[in-house]
Every structure is written in C-alpha cells, then in structure tokens.
Chains A and B, each alone.
Chain A
Amino acid sequence: MDIYVLARYPFLSEAKEVVRRENVRTEEILHDPIYERARDIGRQRVTDALEEGVVGSYPVASETDALMNIFSYPIARMIVASVGHPYFRGRYALAEAKRAYEFLQGESQDFLLQVARELEVAVDDDLRLHFADYLRHAPTRSQRWKLVNMPLSQGWLSLEHRELARVLQNAIQHRLFEELRDMRPPSEISNVFRGEVTAIRNTLQQREMREKAEMGEASVTKLPPCMRMLLAAIQTGANVPHVGRFTLVSFLNAIGMETEEILNLFAASPDFDRERTRYQIEHITGKVSGTDYTPPSCASIKTWGLCPTDKMDAICRRVNHPLSYYRIKGRRRK
C-alpha cells in the first residue's frame, strides 16, 4: 500500500510494518531530532482527542511527512497508555476512529473490503456484512440503524458505501481500544512526555470534578420519566417486574444514593419488607454479588417495555441513557 495512504490509517498492520522495517529503537524515536516532527504530531493527536474528540489530519506533502505521520501514531499511543486513564483510552480510540471515518468515505470499495478483513469484520464481495459483525459494530441505538430496519437476508445485509465506512469506524474504535488496554508503555515515555501526561491527567481530573458537581446531591426531582414511573409503581405496591426493580435500583445507585436512602424511598410500599429489600438492593449494587451493575440504556429500557413513551419530554429525545437525562436536568436547574 502507498505510504501516503498508510499515513491516513497508521493503525493498519501494514503501517505498523513500515515502522518495524525502519528498524529504529524506541530511544531514537523519543530523542533523535530526526523524529522531532513525529513527536510533535504525536502530541497533537493526543491533544486533538482530548480537546476536539477527533484527531485532525495533518499536512502530508512529502514522503517524509507521510512517514512522520505514521511514526506519530505509536508515539501518541504510548502517551495515552502512560496517562493510564480508562476513560481517556476510550476517548482516544474514538477520536482516531472518527478521523479514519472521514478518510474512509472517500476510498474505493476494494479498500473498504481490505480494511474490513483486517478488522475481522465479515464482508463478502458484494459488500454485504454478516449480521453478527453488524451487531458488534453498528450504532444500533438509533432507530435508523436497528437491525429490524436493515435488509437482512440469509444472515447477510448490504450497506451503502458510507454506511459500511461508519460501521468500520466503530470496528476501528473497538480494535484500538483493545490494543490500548493491553499496552504497557516503556517507562522512558513518561520522562520524555512528562509535561503532556501531567497536563492531560489534570484536565481529566477537572472534568470529572465538574461532572460530579453537575450530578450534585442525589435528587428525586431530576429523575427521568421512566424512573419516576418505576418509583411510583414500587411506592404504591404495584407489581413491578424484576427488570424494573433492577433498572431503578441500579440507576439510584449510579446517581450516588446509598442503600439506606434507597430503602427509605421504597418504604412507602404497602408490602415493604426491609431486610428482603435490602438484600435485593445490595445484590444489584454489588455489595452481595460482587458485580456492580451499570444502569441500562434507553434502548434496553424500551425493549423491556419500561419506557413511558407518552411521558417522554424534550430531554428524553436528546439522550440515549437515563443518566444523561439526570445530568442535563441538573445542569438546567442551576
């Protein structure tokens, strides 16, 4: 593959092969003035991911530029890995994948097929995708992308060029995230990029604090309609299916309510049994089972028939997750 093309997709194995063939030591990449430009672009990749959520495209006017772009990618990955923050790993993987998507839209079908094969996404020669890989990677949370609305036949579904590129974006994101998760950066890296790594950690910490502040004191008034409905049902002693209880308790736990607080909310129920309920709550919040369940998304809540579609409001329509609703509502009240 052309080195200019590889500069757009530095995560492909062929690009990695280019780096390997140059046969340079990590030390040189980190210190040698020849790689100064690669280090700069590497820093830029990481900053773009943090600030913009998408890695930019940097000018590639010569073969050297292309090579520096390719080298910048492993450098960026080492920086991300030494930040050592799971959320940031995810954000970086997404930002690289989004950049790739912008380029992929303009590539040939053959090229898309080639990328798909490398990512182990099953695509046949007619650009048809196997549904299992479609489900793994397509953004099925939006109605347009739901499998039920796709032309599925004999296990395969055909996509338009742009749609396939979009699915590949997610496949790239998943692949990069997995790679980053397993990566152990050389200790050298934190010396060379100490400034960057510290700055990123600080920014992330500030963001987290801001989010926590937005979340504020756990408050029932910020609950989305589905949770309000479930809570009311439990308080009036109506029969709430297990998934309903699970949805509500995992949600209340996620917004920072303690077992006792949740118990007090449920105490209004006419058939309230404190010890039994405590056991159930602690099972969901992880105190008994050892698994701390995250609350389900809007898609799951809809599938379970727990979304009161007639009570949906403007915020509901903007979000995919009840926690986002809760956060937005908190922001508005200030």
Chain B
Amino acid sequence: MTTWLQEQFRRYYTRPRIRFPDRFPRREYALVPFEEQHMQRHLAVKTREDLQSLLERRVPAHIYYSSAYYETPDAPTMAEKGWMGADLIFDLDADHLPGAGGMSYPEMLAAVKQEMIKLLDFLQEDFGFEEADLAVYFSGGRGYHCHVTDARVQTLGSQERREIVDYITGRGLDTQSLLQEKTVYRQGNITQTSLEMPLPDEPGWRGKISREIIRFFQSLLDAPEEEALQQLTQFEGIGPKTARTIYQGLTPQRIQRMRQGKFDQFPYIKKMAPHLIRRSAVELRGEPDEPVTADVKRLIRLPGSLHGKTGLRVEHVPLGYIDQFDPLVDAVVFDDSPVALTLKKGTAISMKNRSFDLQPGSHTVPAHLAVLLVGRGLATVDS
C-alpha cells in the first residue's frame, strides 16, 4: 500500500534534480525503502537514465552513494569491489555539537552552518583546495556535508585522512610549544622571563591561535566592562578577582605587543589557551567518536535526493551563498497546496518564511510542512 508520503516522493522522483557525482557509474548506491528499515546495498548504475529509473521505480525514503569509486561497484565484498579512491567527505551534524540538545531545529541548523563556515576556512586557507574541488550540501536533515574531489587526496588511505581530521579538530596540537616562556634578562639570581606567542601571520595552527587570542582580547577591550568581566569568568580557573586584574591590564599597547608575539607578564593566558583553541577548531565527531572523514568507503546522501524524514532536498549550497542559505526556504521542494492532517505533538517551526505554532489536533497546512511533519512521525494525513 502506498502511503501519502510515498506518493509525494513519487511525484518528486518523476522529475528530480539530481546532481550526479563524478564517475557516477563507479560508485556503489544504497537505498532505504519506505516499507522497511533495512538498507539495500551494492547497487550500481551505468547511465544517468539507469539512476533516474531506479529512483522512479523504487521511490526510496533515503538514497546514498559511496564516497569511494570502485572497479566493480556492485560486487558484494570490499575485496571484490576493487577500491580505486574516494572523495574526502566531511559530515557535520547537529548531533556532534555540544549543547545541541537544548536548541530548536532552526537554531541547530544555524549552529552547524557556522561550523561549516569554519571548516571551509580550513579547507581553503590551510589545505588550499580550489573552489572547483569543494561542494557543500545541506543534508536534508540536521547537518551539512562537504565533498572534496581534489585528485591529490582521493587516493589517501584512512590513516592519512585521520591526520586531516585531527588538523581540523585540533587534536594532538602541541600547545606547549605555542606559548613559550623565554628568558629575556638574567643577572645573578635575577631572572626575567617573557611569555612568547606565535605571530598572527604564521602559517598553520600557530597563526590561527595567535589571531584568535588577539581577536579575543580586542573584543574584550571593545566590550563594556561588565560584559568583558563576564566573558572572562566563564573560563575555568578565572574568578572575579583575576578577571578584574586581566581586564585592568588590558590596553591597546598590550594588544599591539601581542601582534609582535609578546605576552609579557601574563600568566593567565595559559589557562585560557585550551578554550581559545577549541573555538578555532571544528566540531567534527561522527557516530559516538567515529571520525567519519577517515572512512575511505562511506555512504553519503545523493545530492538532489530527498531526506525521508523531512522531505527536504539534499541541496547544493554555492560557497558564495552559504551565509544567506536557509535550508527551510532553499531546500523546500513541495508546494503550498493545503493538506489536512492531525498533529500528535505541538510544533513550532518556520518554513518558507512563514511561522507556524501548532497545537496537537487538526490543521490544514502547506504540503511542504505536511511532508516534514508526517516524515518525522509527528502527524498523520486525514484521508
């Protein structure tokens, strides 16, 4: 029996807007049908029409393709598939964000987008990837994906990919050598030391940390005293008294000295450094502690397909548009035609710039919202 939701998906898949991955005939495809939870794997397609007809025939709730490309993508085991290489995939999901539990759906999406913007800075500035080799997608659910198709990284193994993840998340960073105590003056038993920090224009993490430290102290200097003190006391080990000392010692001259790599007598920074490092890093953890990017054969949602729990499209986000991109406008595919449904749970959401604050019970809502509510199991369509 075809459900209402399935019927909506079927209509979309008669004329979908799929973005075909590079070398799409070399990829493995996998789908989850509406009727069952089990994933069907090891599918392959030879032509665009094959994939099109697969979508039309099967109308999947979810469809994925492999980041890897293979000699024989439909072979049942890895050994028989013959791994040839794989795109580098970054999967940022609200689940990986600290504090996501207390956020609304749009807030989560906005927070993940900020992480993606940070990630893109790493990929372009540190790793030097060209725009043509980067593609960002809204996942249709609670996150964003970034696909890197630079040929130089496609043949990297999982150990090497893990190094890239570690770079972006700041794991294994040698923080001790970032802030070093240098002896500047010594006579008899009088020793004067100065704390040195990296210069803002140094390459790699050293410059990144330096810029973050300067930015942070500049923002303290610019903020009203109350706010600055409050910011400072948020750091572990910094009480109101220490915060005041730091704030009072903060002058434009001191920040100028920081730009030259000098901290002078400023021992508190050592306590603050780990937190400032965390702010510069990207939150990028997969399934409990699983670094998704290091996987050389992961399955990723097919761009242009629909997410079975939201009806939103896996939408390409042009790099220059990411700031304005709003998934609840830009990834909506279904129209505004009215649908009568029964809501089980109260829901507040804004879609296509229209806010809804719905109590449990009967409602008539636009089709795109109906798809999302039914997909998530929050409502049933009245027949």
Question: Taking beta carbons and an 8 Å cutoff, which residues of A are in contact with B?
Answer: 122, 130-132, 135-136, 140, 143-144, 146-158, 239, 241-244, 289-291, 297, 299-300, 302-306
A156 to B290, CA, bound (A): 28
In the complex, the chain B residue whose C-beta lies closest to that of A137 is: B160
Instruction: Specify the main secondary structure of chain A where it touches its partner.
Output: mixed
Return 15 A-B CB contacts under 8 Å, by A number: A132-B153, A136-B156, A143-B172, A143-B174, A144-B174, A146-B163, A147-B167, A155-B126, A155-B127, A239-B288, A241-B288, A241-B290, A243-B290, A299-B162, A300-B159
Whether B172 pairs with A242 at a CB distance below 8 angstroms is no
Docked-complex contact A153 and B125, CB < 8 angstroms: yes
Asked if A150 contacts B204 (CB within 8 A), the reply is yes
- Asked if A148 and B289 sit within 8 Å, CB to CB, the answer is no
Known: A148-B173, A239-B288, A243-B290. 10 other contacts (CB 8 A): A136-B156, A147-B167, A149-B205, A152-B167, A152-B204, A157-B204, A241-B287, A242-B290, A291-B78, A303-B162
For the complex of A and B, list the 9 residue pairs with the smallest distance between their C-beta atoms, beginning with the closest. A155-B128, A153-B203, A154-B128, A241-B288, A135-B160, A151-B203, A132-B152, A151-B204, A305-B289
Interface contact A156-B289, CB-CB below 8 Å: no
Within 8 A of A (CB), among B163-220: 163-167, 170-174, 177, 202-206
Bound form: Cα–Cα A241–B58 in Å: 32
Bound Cα distance A147, B128 (Å): 14
Q: Which residues of B contact A306 (CB under 8 A)?
A: 289
Residues of chain B with a CB closer than 8 A to A302's CB: 171-172
Interface residues as binary, B55-92 with A (CB distance below 8 Å gives 1, 0 otherwise): 00000000000000000000001110000000000000
Known: A148-B171, A155-B127. A243 touches B77 (CB 8 A): no
Separation of A262 and B10 alpha carbons in the complex (Å) = 47
**CA distance in complex: A140, B161 (Å):** 12
**Contact status A149-B128, CB under 8 Å:** no
The answer, among B77, B153, B163, for a CB contact under 8 Å with A140, is: B163
Residues of A within 8 A of B127 (CB): 131, 152, 155
> Is B291's beta carbon under 8 Å from chain A?
yes
Interface contact tally, CB-CB below 8 A: 103
Expressed in whole angstroms, the minimum distance between the Cβ of B172 and any Cβ of chain A is: 5
Q: Which residues of B contact A (CB under 8 A)?
A: 77-79, 125-129, 152-153, 156, 159-160, 162-167, 170-174, 177, 202-206, 287-291, 294
**In the bound complex, how far is the Cα of B290 from the Cα of A146, in angstroms?**
19
Q: Is the CB of A290 within 8 A of B77?
A: yes
Kindly report which residue of chain A lies nearest to residue B163, judged by CB atoms: A147
Within the complex, what minimum Cβ distance (angstroms) separates B216 from chain A? 20
C-alpha spacing A241/B289, complex, angstroms = 7
Q: Of A136, A153, A158, A242, which one neighbours B160 at CB under 8 angstroms? A: A136
How many whole Å from A129's CB to the nearest CB in chain B? 12
How far apart sit A110 and B204, CA to CA, in the bound complex (Å)?
26
CB atoms of B294 and A303 under 8 A apart: yes
Contact between chains at B166 and A148 (CB < 8 Å): yes
Given contacts A140-B163, A303-B171, contact A151 B288 (CB under 8 A): no
Report Cα–Cα, A135/B171, bound state, in Å.
Answer: 16
B87 CB, min distance to chain A CBs, angstroms: 14
Select one of A146, A158, A290 contacting B172, CB under 8 A.
A146
Q: Which of A130, A148, A151, A156 has the most CB of B within 10 A?
A: A148
Within 8 Å CB of A150, what residues of B? 204
| Inter-subunit contact B159/A148 (CB<8 Å) | no
| Distance, CA A140 to CA B156, complexed state (A) | 14
Which A residues are CB-close (under 8 A) to B79?
Answer: 290-291
Closest beta carbon of chain B to A194's beta carbon, Å: 36
Contact A242 B173 (CB under 8 A): no
Rounded to whole Å, the gap between the CB of B297 and the closest CB of chain A is: 11
Please judge, given known A-B contacts A243-B290, A300-B162, whether A151 and B172 are in contact too, CB under 8 Å. no
CA distance A306 to B79 in the complex (A): 28
Output the least CB separation between B91 and chain A (Å). 15
Flag if B164 contacts A149 (CB, 8 Å).
no
| Residues A153 and B204 in contact in the complex (CB < 8 Å), given A131-B127, A135-B163 | yes
